[in-house]
A and B are shown apart, each in its own frame.
Chain A
């Protein structure tokens, strides 16, 4: 520690010393021999004793209650069952509970604990679970169906990786396995063709980066791609931002350029298959979407690697039609192609001075990470890239970050804020959290339970802490009222209208070529009103429909562990005026008119379906008043439909519909 500390401190710029003194980092590096808290081994403290033995249900509760009791505070009351089931259902599957499910839970004569466990277990088994939690992961790995930047050509096969993520969460694939497959699935032993296909698809993780296809310098382009892989690997799994060490030793964390280029060597020995080439002047403009640059999967039945099926896979396949002005050309889906990674010629990567691609220095042995406080990585054999060794290092039991970062991500999704509030930042800027013991407890349990994501979620959800209602604080960890994400909102609207389909769109759903030719823009074949769950609509960088950014869908160029939550007038306008909401309200009204015949029961059912609760008597009378006061235009074919559509749209526009508490 001593040598590196001096080394690092010596290189701190004046600015950094100033900042470091502010955040007390100098102390951490110099004096505190234990190192930064997040690098220390997971603590194994037994849950603390608490005076109120009746409140806690789980160890999680004991950790929180002990802190509350220290401050002479008491936990908040439990949320009512109707509130709770709405919360649990949105949290697990991203959709509202149905009136029948609410009814069953509210009238279940079992104890609160047993009744809740039944609901949680049912939802964990739902195929909708992976669609919700897979999407959380897709935020973290910058998932997109186009490359972005200035050229923005489509990724024709990104969706295979997306489906792999969803399926992995549904299968409750152990998280360490999930990590390893994404980094090195092609290097793992296989027991079946299906498994081989799945593991190869997993490496799509590495290939999804946003890079400029029109990079003038080849070396720059190579280093940018490597940088993207280092960035996503270290941030998604370890919560560390390493890529500032591309140009200089990290100003705050003990990560040197040597470490960075030791990682770079792993990825410079890896070949990516994106289905895209770099646009170059020599080749002209018809070469950068290229089916020949896709990963080949063994055929599901024969196990053979086959040629592309006949059809359109590359821009050169439709050059003539393009010249004749045809622009609606669709790519052909090949059952045996994907995005992903494979081994390339193993070679270490030279340090690039100040990050300049042509200013080379020595090449550190790939994989030779010397991050003080973290375990050392195994030596990388001369014949391999080292991705598998990297994956084993990330998922080793001595590596405390991976489990901490992931359980914190899960906590943040369920409570609205992480135990460590900046979920992507576990480096030295992260202060030791108030509930460090709880975090470490969860991380230990997570590893001990075989890295089971479902068990982790189940344990948290069955805690008393999760059941509380009321405003959240760092101390009490209540569930904070949260605005639903764009996906949950859109899916709920579709569900209410009766239009939501639960199947996956088949095959490639993107078209166009990107680039700068007239009319060449990449586009999605699924419009925003397509009946599929939102997770299945293509995510085109820089080309997302307006509603996505209005509701804070993350910029898919970026790694985003926690989304912004804004409340702006354009959201209100979406609910008041958009065709999407109007159509959804119309569909929901039609269902209502069919399912109930009298006004008051209709109002009741509308509240149950949309807000997950019974209306109180005032609300019934307000609703009936609104229905009566409206003036359907003379041209209206069905005044009754007009009135009910308007009422339903109002319920959809309400804060209650948009928030989960």
Chain B
């Protein structure tokens, strides 16, 4: 470590802008545009487009409509002090209703999975653009020195795949690092042949060779980045397994997240990993639950998916709260779009992009609050409409970033996450 510092000081004169910005991001947080409400974010992505009608958008008219309309598959109840309507699909989460800020007026441009997933993550349906996490880490830097600033756990490999956590034209250091559940998490994280001492000797030898190469091409930011990447990689060998080793958690915490039940173990592990990553200073974390594309039999299919995430998410909220971390953590829940009020295949619903629901909790959002609404039968958002760019503008705002000032110059023009649109939903800010 000290050798690295000394080297960095010695080499400082030769640093290119890329390495400088990467360093700034790695070593020290950058300054937000204004006081941040949340200093980190966790996005619980429900891939496939969960139905709002059976979860968080109570439509009494829909229950009565009959005909081609499909009534909600689960009973709704008012919950907590706030009286937010939440269905029985999420009994545990419903107990935290007073922490939630429901966004019932979400819209997105396209009802195709791939387009909508990319739009949700990058703001663009078809162009290659940096992802939300990359923009956030570009804007705020990382708070972790032995872990990447943007981590995505078990991401999907289709529907745009790596683009959804890519950095596109932003420097590579801001791209999301994939982690898998399980102790190893990152491919090739452990060395099975060398003792730690021998590996350090080997690495010192490599770094000496690398510094020699850098001396020959002194203005090579990539070589500087490569030298740093070896030190980060070396530390990750320890930090990643340590952070991901959920067995270090007490039994009651593991139970809180549902690690004791095969139905909730997968997403519970992701949620608990997320909390441990947050404690280590990771700025933006995405978790993914797949399989929310319920064209058939919502009662069973959505019921099972909801049951697999309900206790884990409730556990995460409770745990963050008891650790005093919820106020500074922005929790984002939702899919790429929602569902139709009409029946598709028996008992199921087709895609809907003109009105659906997401929710936020924690850092800086109004608690026990409902914003936006769809019309009587839930066919489209009619008030408090939030399009993709509005959502991104609002999320960036909560993290202390002005979406109009968070720009990056590329191919002769200044790009921003929200293109030339996006309006912050001030109404939801506490």
Contacts and interface: CB of A to CB of B under 8 A. Distances in A.
Given A150-B158, A572-B232, A655-B209, A630 B226 contact: no
Contact of A483 (B192, B193, B206, B222): B222
Interface in A541-578: 542-543, 546-547, 549-550, 555, 558, 564-574, 576-578
A15 B195 CA distance: 60
Contacts of B202: 626, 630, 646-647, 649-650, 653
Contact of A471 (B113, B206, B220): B220
Q: Binding site of B, secondary structure by majority: helix, strand, loop or mixed?
A: helix
B230 interface: yes
B175 A566 contact: yes
Contact of A577 (B128, B172, B189, B220): B189
Contact of A568 (B163, B173, B190): B173
A22 interface: yes
A470 B158 CA distance: 41
Given A568-B175, A654-B210, A578 B188 contact: yes
Contacts of B214: 655
A195 to B, nearest CB: 39
Contact of B229 (A19, A148, A546, A572): A572
B203 A564 contact: no
A629 interface: yes
Contacts of B186: 570, 573
A570 B177 contact: yes
A9 to B, nearest CB: 19
Nearest to B202: A650
A566 B172 contact: yes
A572 B230 contact: yes
A555 B217 contact: no
Nearest to A431: B412
A601 B345 CA distance: 73
B188 A429 contact: no
B304 interface: no
A633 to B, nearest CB: 7
Given A23-B412, A567-B225, A572-B232, A661 B158 contact: no
Contacts of A623: 205
Contacts of B324: none
Nearest to B350: A216
Contacts of B220: 471, 481
Nearest to B207: A654
A558 B118 CA distance: 14
B346 interface: no
Contacts of A421: 411
Contact of A567 (B113, B195, B229): B229
Given A555-B161, A555-B163, A569 B236 contact: yes
Interface string A106-143: 00000000000000000000000000000000000000
A15 B209 contact: no
A149 B159 CA distance: 7
Contact of B226 (A422, A547, A650, A658): A658
Contacts of A599: none
A408 B163 CA distance: 26
Interface string A466-496: 0000110000000001010000000000000
Contact of A573 (B162, B194, B236): B236
B209 A573 contact: no
Looking at chain A, what size class is its interface with the partner chain?
35 or more
Contacts of A422: 411
Contacts of B236: 569, 573
Contacts of B162: 549, 555
A564 B168 CA distance: 8
Interface string A509-542: 0000000000000000000000000000000001
Nearest to B162: A549
A661 B54 CA distance: 59
Contact of A655 (B187, B197, B226, B420): B226
B2 interface: no
A577 B208 CA distance: 19
A566 B226 CA distance: 9
A650 B209 contact: yes
A199 interface: no
A533 B255 CA distance: 49
Contact of A481 (B161, B173, B217, B412): B217
B64 interface: no
B191 interface: yes
Interface string A315-332: 000000000000000000
B172 A576 contact: no
**What 4 pairs between A and B have smallest CB-CB spacing?**
A566-B172, A572-B233, A567-B225, A577-B188
28 contacts: A18-B420, A22-B413, A23-B413, A149-B114, A150-B113, A429-B411, A542-B158, A543-B157, A546-B187, A549-B161, A555-B161, A555-B163, A567-B222, A569-B233, A571-B229, A572-B226, A573-B188, A574-B188, A576-B199, A576-B237, A577-B188, A577-B192, A630-B198, A650-B205, A653-B230, A655-B213, A655-B226, A658-B226
Given A566-B167, A570-B177, A573-B237, 14 more contacts: A148-B158, A471-B217, A555-B161, A565-B222, A567-B225, A573-B187, A574-B188, A577-B191, A650-B205, A654-B213, A655-B209, A655-B213, A658-B226, A661-B216
